[in-house]
Structure formats: C-alpha cells, structure tokens
Amino acid sequence: MLKKGLSILVFGAMIFAPTLARAQSNFNPNFIISDAEVQDSHSWSRDDVQQFLNLRGSFLRTYTAPDASGTPKSAADIIYEAGLNYNINPKFILTTLQKEQSLVTDDSPTQKQLDWAAGYAVCDSCTTDDPGIQSHKGFGNQVDNAAGIIRWYYDNTDKSFVKKKDVATTIDNTPVTPQSWATAFLYTYTPHLHGNTNFWRIWETWFGQTYPNGTILKSASSSEYWLLVDKTKRQFKNMTALITRADPKLAITVPDADLANYTDGPIIAFPNYSILKSANTTYLLDYDTLRPFASDEVVRAIGYNPDEIIDVTDTDITGYVIGTTITTSSTAPAGVIYKIAELKEPYFYVKDGIAKPIEKQIIDANFKKLTTEKHTLADLQKLTLVMDPVDFQDGTLLYLTDINRFYVVENGKKRPIADRETFNIMGYKKTNALPISMAVAARIADGEQIFLNSSLLSSKEKFLGDSEAPVADIFKSSLPAYLIAEYPTGRIVAGKNIDTKFPIASLTKMLTAYEALNQNFDLKKSTVYSTKKYASEGNVLKLKNGEKILNEDALASMLAISNNDLARLIAQNSGPSSENAFIQTINDRLADWGADSTQIVEPTGLDPKNISTPRDLLKIFVNIMKNDIIKTAINRPAYTFKAIYDPKIGRRKIVNTNLLYTNKKLPYDILASKTGYINEVGANLLMLVQDKKTKKQYVVITLAEKNYTKRFVEPDRLAKMLVSGQIKLANLTN
C-alpha cells in the first residue's frame, strides 16, 4: 500500500497565494572585492584585455600613449603590463579606469580624462593644475600608479593612513569594517561610498559570475559548450555528452572573455546514463554520480546492451561520487515517468522505487528524454511515495505570462530577470522560455534578481554620469544644487552639490509613470475616480467621486500638471497588489539602475522623504527617456483630452507647469520637462534642452529654489549660458 495517504495527492489543486517579491543583491560596504581577485594578475592575457576593449567599442581599443617609462604602447599593453609588474588583476585596473573617468565606455574622452585616467594623486580638494602632481599626469603614468599603489598598500599595511582589514572606520558618516584588505585599500584610495559602490557595480557587471547554475554557455569563437556549476564552467567533451544532459538550442553564446570569468571545473566526458566498466566494477553514470551494479548479471537482467558498455580506467572516473548500488530489485534506476489515469494530477517521477509528483511542464522542460509509461493506481501503490514535488532543474528559463516576467531557476528558486534589456544582453530567447501560470510560480521560492547595466555592456548605450572626476560649478549658480550633462551620454559638464540629497517633490511622478508602464498599466482602459482611495492635496483637475478617466489621459495629466490624485490612481491600478507594493517595485528598479542615493516612499512627491541627488536624477532621467510614451508625455506644452465622465464638459485642455514653454524666443528648444514643488525644498526642475544652432542636447537639473515666483529664472539662465557660448565647455578638455 501507499506509504502516505492518497488524500495528499490533491496538492496540485490547492490554491497558493502568489508571493512574487523581488530579491535584490545589495552592495555590502564591508566587502567589495576579495584579495584573491585583486591579485589575480594572470586572470587575463594581453589579448583578453584587447578583446574586452574591442567588444565594448571602447575608445581605448585603438588608443596609444607613452607608458610609465616613456615608451609608446597600446592601452591594452599598458594595462596588461602594469598588472604583471605589480601582481594586480588587469580587470581591477579596467574597473578603476571606468570608475574614475568612464574611459572604457566613453566614445570621446577629453584629454583631461586621459591624463588623469585613474584619478591618482587628484584629491577632493586638489586641482589637476597643481604643480605637485604633474609627474603623475598621463595615461601610462596613471595606470602604472594606480596598480602600483595597490601593491604598495599590500606591502605597507602598517602605515597609519592605510585603512585596515577588520578594523572599523567611518566612510561618509557610515560605519564600515573592511572584511578584506582589498576593500580597505579601495576606501584608502577613494574614501567615499558612492565611488566604491560604483566600483562594485562595474566589477559585478563586467566580471561577476552572472549566469545562474545550470546555464549552458557556448564559446563565440569555437564549438565548445560549457555547463555552469557552482561558479565553475565544465566543458562538454563532445556533443553526445551535451545532448544527453541538455538541449543545445538553449545554449547562450558568449565571448571568451566572459567565459574567462569562471574557473574550469571537471570535464564532462561521458554521456549521461552511460554504462562504464572499470577493471573491477560496472557503473551507471547518473549525472555526476557513479552507481555500481551489484554484478554483471544485474547489468544483463536490466537489459543493457553489451555494445553500450564503455571501458574506462580508474583515472577516467576519478572525482565522481559513488552512489547507491543497483540490484535486480531496483525500479527504474535511470528514471521513468508514470502516468496514473485515475488521478487528477497524474504524473509521477519514478526512480529506484520512489515516486514523486511532477508537473507536466517540468517533464516537458527537463525530462523529455524519459519514457512516459501508463500505469494504474495499484502500480503506484507498490512504490514509496514522497510528496516533495520535483523541481525545475537549474538553468530552466521560465516566463510568467500573468505579469510578463522572465525567471531563471537556480538552487530551487526562481531568479527574476530585472528587465528586457538584461534579458536581451544576456542572450536569452523568449522561444526558449517555458510559460508558467501565477499558481505554478507561487510554488517556487524567490531568489536574487538578475540585473545587468546595459550602459556598461552595450557598445551603443553608454552612461558616463558615474565618473568620479571632480565636477566644477563653472556656471556659478546661486542655487543650492544643479547639474548640467550631455544627453544621452550623461557626461556631466558642470554642477554643484551633485551628490547631496534633496526632496524631489513631483519629479517623483516620472518614476510613477515609468513603473506603471512596466507593470502593464493599460492606457486604453479607464479608471473610476474614488476620493476615498486617491484623494490628496493637489487635485488640479478637480475630479469628483465616481468620475471616470481614460488611463492614457490620467498618465499625461499627472506628468503635465502634477496632479497628485492621479499619481495615486495610477500606482494603485498597476501590477502590484497595493500602493506600498508599487513603491517597493520603484525602489527595486532604482537599485537596479544604481541610483543608490534615491528613496521613494509614496507616488506623488508630496512627502519630503522622497529624496534623491542631482547625479541620481540624471541617471533616472536617462533611463526613463528610453520609454517613448513618457518621452512624449513630458514634451507637451499642453494636452487636450475628452472628459468621458461628463459629456457636458466636452474637451479639456491642460497646460504644462513649466512656464518656459510659453516663451517662443528662447535660444533653445525644450524637449522634455518635469517640475516639482513642496515647501520643504522649494522648486525643482528637470529639463532636456536642445541648442537651436548646434542641435546638441543637454539635461538641466535645478533643485531647491526657495523663491517660487522666480523658480524658472535660474534654470533659464543656465540653459541660455549653455547654448550661448558664454561658457566654453571645450575648455574642460584642458
């Protein structure tokens, strides 16, 4: 009889509450990178460095400069040789160059960026004109100095100014206890959280072991296939070994430089479920386990063909785990699927006399090669029933159709892929994803989110606003904070207090709109307004209880005139189950984007605890502008729509809250704009402007203007100076 009651078999019909919370792997200020990683100087060859620069379309791929001895060399040679000379990983040097001056991704770096490539000898209060630091000027010197100082730190840990492993310190008013010498040295080199968070993010994006366990990778330069297991890559010796474990069409093609991020594991030499015969024993290969047959008679009794037996030496099978012995009483030692017609949930995975429930989708995804046999309930009752359902195998790509979201299974958990950009960059294909329902997804625990920064990986989308290079207040603004940057690269050309946090007021609504659209907020549907659910200060449209508004008009009105009620309406009618859940998805996305100094607590901007910095707002804006719907909505001087809830009103016209739109004589065009105001901070403004003559585009961000009546005066002055030539941005190249 069954070892457990059949009543348990209704598990498949139970209702599971969806628990699809996203997990985010956060920056740990106490441990940024290991000492082994920093000192792995042989991780890459010179050609690997060159290929890395080539793949990213980097300016440095063709750049030559004198090295520290004055000999002209390529950037790749300078980086590689500095790594060898000081026993420092060339990947560490590349990450430093990106963190300090965005040199890997900047298509046209200034001479100043190249001359101070690693930020070496340039302190927060220094200028690059200081005569005392000119000996460190030049790309070759900077690379050599940056690698050399890390080696010097390792050799001089007793010096008082060198931060210490396992010794508490304070960085930007935050207590930190470095858990590796490398982490301590990073804080010695750059004593700020922002710069080191940026270092970690760059390192993880470029060199972190990004793909989950179970992923099949294919070399872009050869026919080699590899299986990822516990941060190692295991090569398949031949196609037979591959196809008995996985479907080759699921493989993701990657450059060899990406494969080099994983250490080599044991080669997968034999097809799965091979019969291997050593001098003394015959085995069934069950993935990485060798299961001995009790005797040759058992091999024959089970029905294996002698021609299928592979002779091996003890060396061939070194490293395999020895599993349970197979006897004549072993039922389906290689596994089989039972289908029980009498049961509502008919499928069971049977192996060694043990039966486990399994869903048809898991069979299709991971067990297609197993035979499905029709059996009766009486047959099942002869087996031991274990009610732990069979999970999806590691590396399985899932598509949750209810919310249009992709996941990858790893260690029994589903890891959400952050966005479509990450999905595409990593090489996943929708055709390889297994569609699942919310009920199936809810049974799988949540794992850490998978996110890649496209601006660090794509040769087309590059964001340069994270550079640690000093930012000058060349516009001499009276405002507490402002920032001006090139668009779309994000290269910051001027600013003041760009890393200081301020309440952002209604600039919040850009995030509300972006997240709503990513949560499938249906613009073609309408929503009934409820004062109980949505009422808040700032109902500019004077919506009444029970009135209906088209979602498209709600989104446009929220952005154009900062209607707060509509922000709450949109937040509560998007994907997540509550407004609080909606806010959490915004903060998760901000973490994905690296907007580390931004925190949102509600969707309108009325709460002064919605905070950000000018640098973060630049990053947020550049990302949001990739959405064409929002890009159009925040570039409307006015917006007209039909009031569907009251035919007597007819068409309604709303005017953008940025009054600069009304000035037709401006020397610049406003391509996008969002205003914000609350008493706690004053007036904020974010604009994308275009020089009417040169057609160059710039982001202008101004914060904390306390004089409400003059809230557009300083932004206008900055934009006019920007396009008039009064400020020579070209001088920044010196």
Asked if residue 501 lies in contact with residue 612, where contact means CB atoms within 8 angstroms, the answer is: yes
CA 469, chain centre distance (Å):
24
What is the CATH T-level fold of the domain 481-733, as seen in this structure?
Beta-lactamase (3.40.710)
233-238 long-range contacts, Cβ below 8 Å, gap at least 24?
233/259, 233/262, 233/263, 233/264, 233/265, 234/264, 234/265, 234/266, 234/267, 234/268, 235/264, 235/267, 235/268, 236/267, 236/268, 237/267, 237/268, 237/269, 237/270
Question: What is the mean pLDDT of the segment spanning 523-546?
Answer: 86
**Confidence at 356, pLDDT banded by 50, 70, 90:** very high
Q: Which two tokens stand for residue 365?
A: 């995804």
- Amino acid 666: pLDDT: 95
Read off the pLDDT of residues 489-499 as tens digits, 9 standing for 90 and up: 899 999 999 99
Alpha-carbon torsion (162, 166, 169, 170), positive or negative: positive
**Confidence at 729, pLDDT banded by 50, 70, 90:** low
* The one catalytic residue among 506, 574, 597, 612: 506
Read off the pLDDT of residues 213-269 as tens digits, 9 standing for 90 and up: 999 999 988 999 999 998 899 999 999 999 999 999 999 998 887 888 888 999 999
Q: Report pTM.
A: 0.70
Mean pLDDT value across the chain: 89
Question: What is the mean pLDDT of the segment spanning 520-539?
Answer: 87
What does R_g of the chain's alpha carbons equal in angstroms?
30
Read off the pLDDT of residues 402-415 as tens digits, 9 standing for 90 and up: 888 899 999 999 99
Mark whether 536 is an active-site residue: no
Measured CA to CA, the distance from residue 205 to residue 519 in angstroms comes to: 25
> What is the share, in percent, of the chain residues with pLDDT greater than 90?
67
> What is the share, in percent, of the chain residues with pLDDT greater than 70?
92
**Confidence at 9, pLDDT banded by 50, 70, 90:** very low
Helices vs strands, H then E, count in the chain: 24, 35
* The one catalytic residue among 562, 574, 597, 612: 562
Question: What is the mean pLDDT of the segment spanning 414-429?
Answer: 87
- Amino acid 439: pLDDT: 85
Least confident window among 193-197, 241-245, 462-466, 652-656: 462-466
Least confident window among 42-51, 112-121, 416-425: 416-425
The SS3 call for residue 634 is coil
Measured CA to CA, the distance from residue 499 to residue 144 in angstroms comes to: 29
Residue 13 pLDDT > 50: no
Burial 63-84 (b: 16+ CB within 10 A, else e): bebebbeeeebbbbbbbbbbbe
Read off the pLDDT of residues 313-345 as tens digits, 9 standing for 90 and up: 989 998 899 999 999 888 899 999 999 999 999
Read off the pLDDT of residues 267-292 as tens digits, 9 standing for 90 and up: 999 999 999 999 889 999 999 999 99
Mark whether 233 is an active-site residue: no
Which residue type occupies 560? Answer: A
Q: Which two tokens stand for residue 42?
A: 């042989």
In terms of Cα–Cα distance, which of 719, 706, 611 is closest to 661? Answer: 719
What is the signed CA dihedral for 393, 398, 400, 401, rounded to 10 degrees? -130
Winning range, highest mean pLDDT, from 79-83, 259-263, 526-530: 79-83
Measured CA to CA, the distance from residue 593 to residue 597 in angstroms comes to: 11
Read off the pLDDT of residues 548-570 as tens digits, 9 standing for 90 and up: 889 999 999 999 988 899 999 99
Measured in degrees and rounded to the nearest 5, phi and psi for residue 636 equal: -120, 115
Which stretch of DSSP H or E encloses residue 605?
none
The SS3 call for residue 262 is coil
By DSSP bridging, strand 413-416 and strand 445-446 are parallel
The SS3 call for residue 206 is helix
How many CB atoms within 10 Å of residue 564?
A: 23
Mark whether 506 is an active-site residue: yes
Read off the pLDDT of residues 14-70 as tens digits, 9 standing for 90 and up: 323 222 333 335 789 999 999 999 999 998 999 989 989 998 889 999 999 999 999
Q: Which residue has the higher pLDDT, 381 or 732?
A: 381
Domain residue spans in the chain?
35-207, 216-264, 275-322, 481-733
Residue 717 pLDDT > 80: yes
Least confident window among 176-185, 275-284, 285-294, 439-448: 439-448
Residue 397 pLDDT > 70: yes
- Amino acid 261: pLDDT: 81
Asked if residue 116 lies in contact with residue 101, where contact means CB atoms within 8 angstroms, the answer is: yes
**Confidence at 170, pLDDT banded by 50, 70, 90:** very high
- Amino acid 3: pLDDT: 38
> Is position 524 annotated in a ligand binding site?
no
Question: What is the mean pLDDT of the segment spanning 180-200?
Answer: 95
**Confidence at 733, pLDDT banded by 50, 70, 90:** very low
Measured in degrees and rounded to the nearest 5, phi and psi for residue 332 equal: 50, 65
